Chains A and B, each alone.
Chain A
């Protein structure tokens, strides 16, 4: 046997009393101490007996002359109103919130009359989400709508377009339990036909009404399947108590008899009450928390996180928390920056190298030219030197020659002089 996260689990047998079989009692005790909350929404046209139904379900005058029900309040547009009552039974405290929608479906043009309803449900989800996301979390009140009783008028034909539209818009936000109101206006056969038609249309339009969870107990499941066959439940409500065969029962007095609210052969009220309050109230809350709320939350958070980011890239990454998402974005960005830095560094280095090389080349060129010129000069110098040297030699030899000639001349002159003197002497 393995756990959900694939860890190795070993089954061990107990060889004696340990005591954790008492855990359920501990849970029981704590839950009673904590108290319970439940929010029930009722939706339907005026006059379908919604307030009467609530009073009948909870055996109280929730709506009375002091606190009139929705149909007694004339509304021009659809409102959403809450009534909170505290009830106690058998030591168990329940804070019951009833959400009314007076004006629903009563106008001539009912387009978007579901909008205030969806807005209300969403705003309760939002409140819960914000409370859950606070840094300092206190006791989180659960004001989310756990169940919506949708009242269908007993026309006997099928669902009205408004019914279909409403349920389609709300079936993924709240647990919808459709009810046939004022079922005492139909015979059992008519009722049966009507129910079949409604379920067919619900299936056709792929409307997801509240479903009973599967449980292991075969006996329980048999009962549940029986209930499923009777959906949607056809109900009758009453505020008056009538005496029938010595018993005091809630019912509606007609000249031809009394339609008893809690008589299973007259209507499905008892089934509704048992299922809504006595057996599945907790499940309605769990489904609201685990399914409807989670859907809302994940859509809301996905929108926040991917604000401005390419959605296609991130589809399928919804398993991350927004914080983890931000962390990842941060890491990605840091990596990108590092890469950019590296690239810029490379380009920089390359450019520098280029420039240095150019400089070097330039230096070499200049040096070369300078050497060339130097050599040139030196050559010229040498040439000049040689020329000079040659000239010097030439000059020297010429001068020598001249000196000889001079000497010769002098000698000759001397000689001539001597001769002349000699001649003159003669």
Chain B
């Protein structure tokens, strides 16, 4: 008989809806202890997926490291240094180990660090990561969605390759990591670490770690909350950043073929923990914490992206009175708001047109008025002219009349005179004749 108390702190954390639950003992074997197995079987049948992003300058051995980590030869030829900007190239592979199928996507930053002006280098990386979040968010928001079979492309781990200068982080590294630390799990690694001596390496690691801390860069911490892996994870955390060496070449050491890099002064064995941290990286990244990396991506980085995106679009969880919105209310409120906005815009446009029409009409009316006034003025002038003309005509007519009268009078006089003159002459003649 097993007694279980709900007040045990770890149990209370488990279920937020466990309030009021009472612990009851079992009188025998019920069999639900197979639940983890049931869950595991489901996952194995479904297959797993894991997406790694490799960020680092050209030539730091990113592809080689991937090949070494996954014991296979992935695509790609080495790139030149003349890329105009940073592009991200992604390839997906189906791998199987024992009965476990893994869909692995490896994303490489091509051209990172090659430009003279690297101010925008981080941008394409951030955009890529956001694009994967966005795709998932869109799927999650669809009305008819198929999340169960959705191929998750969100980046679960970002291996940040640091150049083995031995001095400190480059400013490009700090800037980039700062931009990425809230979006992805960053695991910094020192690439091609066989170029650094052991003593320099220790100093380099300390320098890098302190620079990360002082710049507030949050790198991924291997989780220490689960007792079964707490110890190893906590130890490994102190070995970050991992100094790695990658190689797909094999060299015979003793009677075994091992992955190594052969120098005149010795052979660097990739899987020798005294030579480099490759094994540690593989352990942490793949064998122990792969699932945690996936979980962190989903519950932390993705949720942050989603929350910001939704807040940007004006979604809230509670109204001003702190009452929670139901989904339906939120959508309807959003919809009404934006419909109202559109209608307002439409109304504004109409009003503007009405205004313009009014103004133009007034303008034209004004012009028409002016025109009529102009012609009225002309008409008046014309009237005046006509009047003057009439007057002139009249005066001429008067003159003509006067003249005519004068003429007539004169002619009359002349006629009279002629007659009288004749008679006068006659009279004179008569008188003469007397």
B residues less than 8 Å from A348 (CB atoms): 353, 356-357, 360
CA distance A281 to B37 in the complex (A): 11
Q: Is the CB of B95 within 8 A of A18?
A: yes
Report which of B75, B100, B144, B327 forms a contact with A21, defined as CB distance below 8 A: B100
With the chains together, A274 CA to B38 CA distance in Å? 12
Total inter-chain residue pairs, C-beta < 8 Å? 355
A18 touches which of B43, B69, B311, B315 (Cβ 8 Å): B69
When C-beta atoms are compared, the residue in chain B nearest to A280 turns out to be: B38
Judging by beta carbons under 8 Å apart, are B151 and A13 in contact? no
| Chain A proximity of B355: nearest CB distance (Å) | 11
Q: Does A59 contact B (CB under 8 A)?
A: yes
CA distance A340 to B283 in the complex (A): 64
- Please, how many residues of chain B have a CB less than 8 angstroms from a CB on the other chain? 136
A85-B396 in contact given A1-B94, A90-B33 (Cβ < 8 Å): no
Q: Quick check: B103 and A36 within 8 Å, CB to CB? A: no
Q: Which residue of A lies closest to B371 (CB)?
A: A363
| A31 to B228 CA separation, bound complex (whole angstroms) | 13
In the complex the two chains form, is A31's CB within 8 Å of B39's CB?
yes
By a CB distance below 8 angstroms, the chain A residues around B382 are 370, 373-374, 377
A85 to B6, CA, bound (A): 10
Q: Report whether A87 and B32 are in contact in the complex, using a CB–CB cutoff of 8 Å.
A: yes
| Complex CA–CA separation, A4 to B153 (angstroms) | 12
| Contact, CB under 8 Å: B317 / A330 | no
Q: Give the contacts of B293-340 with A (CB-CB under 8 A).
A: 295, 303, 306-307, 310-311, 313, 315-317, 324, 326-328, 330-332, 334-335, 338
Taking a contact as CB atoms under 8 Å apart, the answer to whether A321 and B291 are in contact is no
CB of A290 closer than 8 Å to a CB of B? yes
Q: Return B405 CB to nearest CB of chain A, in Å.
A: 13
Q: How far is the CA of A258 from the CA of B138 in the complex (A)?
A: 60
B414 touches A405 (CB 8 A): yes
Query: Which of A3, A133, A135, A420 is the one whose CB lies under 8 Å from B311?
Result: A135
Bound form: Cα–Cα A319–B146 in Å? 10
Picked from A93, A286, A302, the residue with its CB within 8 Å of the CB of B11 is A93
B219 to chain A, nearest CB (A): 21
Are B93 and A31 neighbours in the complex by a CB distance under 8 Å? no
Q: Is B264 an interface residue (CB 8 A)?
A: no
- Sampled A-B contacts (13; CB under 8 Å): A9-B92, A20-B102, A22-B286, A26-B288, A29-B228, A32-B36, A133-B327, A136-B317, A304-B328, A337-B349, A377-B382, A380-B389, A380-B393
New A-B contacts (15) at CB < 8 Å, excluding given A22-B287, A95-B14, A277-B32: A10-B92, A29-B226, A37-B15, A59-B26, A84-B18, A85-B24, A86-B6, A89-B30, A129-B327, A136-B317, A279-B34, A330-B338, A355-B364, A363-B371, A423-B428
